[in-house]
Amino acid sequence: MRETFIVVGIFIFAVALRTSQSPTIRKIGALTFVAVSFSIFYFVSGRNEWWGLVGALLWLFLPWVELLTRIRRMKLPMENRLRHVQPPNPSFFPNARETMQAMTERGFERISDCCWHWAGMQQHYCLYVHPETGAIASLSLCEQADVAFSFVSITSIGEDGSIWRTTNYPFAPTLIHPKRHNWNHVPCRRNCFHEIHGNHLEFLRAKKIDQAQISSPDPDQLDELVEEEMEEMIAYNLELGIIEYSDEDCFRYSKRGLFFLWGQFLKDMLRLCWIARFPLK
């Protein structure tokens, strides 16, 4: 029974670490679950280190459960139009009220609130524009089942059509961005808009993009810009073979796309950048 007690003890220790408020301790807790898998295979195989390693590596193949079930059967619309709706209660989302206040303090003006649905997830956009610099800021509020999270994106569009974006989106991208898209990912725990805006300005300076190269978008066409960007991304990934037509009006991930998503899942797992999840009221 000693081996059983060791495994149970490590498991309880891992659960305790994952309930900590400290991100570092939660990361250690995630790695401790890998130690649980190693221990189970190690003891069951008669203390064989190689079987223990197999048990630990099984975590790398865990995403395939979802990839071969829900995601493989998922069909997404080729054309998805934004709808103007009332924004959800920001109290459901971490730092939403503070972020919107900080946007106003930085000189951004609120333009519209819109939403679209993707595979059971609702994504709400609170769109802002800075009238002097032409920068577009968005607070995205995402709801899926009983889980909600938010993230910030700041976008500058070049006169040549290039897109320069800084975001604290907490996951790896699920589609490949066209070459004219330039992304600056900051840590997902960086939720202060003033800091993210400063990171965006530093990003533009590092790329030698000055204000004269930035275009000023028409505030009345922000919705169309979001839709056109998604349509361009879908067309680009169809060309690359990441997605494929499932019927005339929908697409799904191809076999190549499933391996691409697996790589993205692994990036998130290795980065251990876990998003704080808040149950909806």
20 and 47 assigned to the same domain: yes
Does 68 reside within a domain? no
Does 70 reside within a domain? no
Does 201 reside within a domain? yes
196 and 236 assigned to the same domain: yes
Identify the residue whose tokens are 């924004």.
Answer: 87
175 and 265 assigned to the same domain: yes
pLDDT of 279 reads 34
259 and 178 assigned to the same domain: yes
Does 66 reside within a domain? no
> What range defines the domain where residue 54 resides?
2-61
54 and 88 assigned to the same domain: no
- What CA–CA distance (Å, rounded) separates 191 from 224? 27
Of 61, 90, 106, at which residue does a domain stop? Answer: 61
Of 28, 61, 94, at which residue does a domain stop? Answer: 61
- What CA–CA distance (Å, rounded) separates 31 from 272? 9
pLDDT of 274 reads 44
CB atoms within 10 A of CB 277: 11
pLDDT of 150 reads 86
pLDDT of 235 reads 94
116 and 52 assigned to the same domain: no
99 and 191 assigned to the same domain: yes
pLDDT of 245 reads 92
pTM of the predicted structure, to 2 decimals: 0.82
40 and 115 assigned to the same domain: no
111 and 233 assigned to the same domain: yes
158 and 226 assigned to the same domain: yes
Does 222 reside within a domain? yes
167 and 88 assigned to the same domain: yes
Does 69 reside within a domain? no
CB atoms within 10 A of CB 225: 16
56 and 148 assigned to the same domain: no
**104: phi then psi, degrees, rounded to nearest 5:** -65, -40
Does 75 reside within a domain? no
pLDDT along the chain (281 residues), means of 10: 84 84 78 88 88 88 90 87 80 81 94 83 90 93 78 94 93 91 89 93 94 90 91 94 89 95 87 43 31
Q: Choose among 111, 76, 90, 2: nearest CA to 251.
A: 76
Does 251 reside within a domain? yes
**CB-neighbour burial class of residue 4 (10 A; exposed 0-12, middle 13-18, buried 19+):** exposed
What's the number of domains the chain is made of? 2
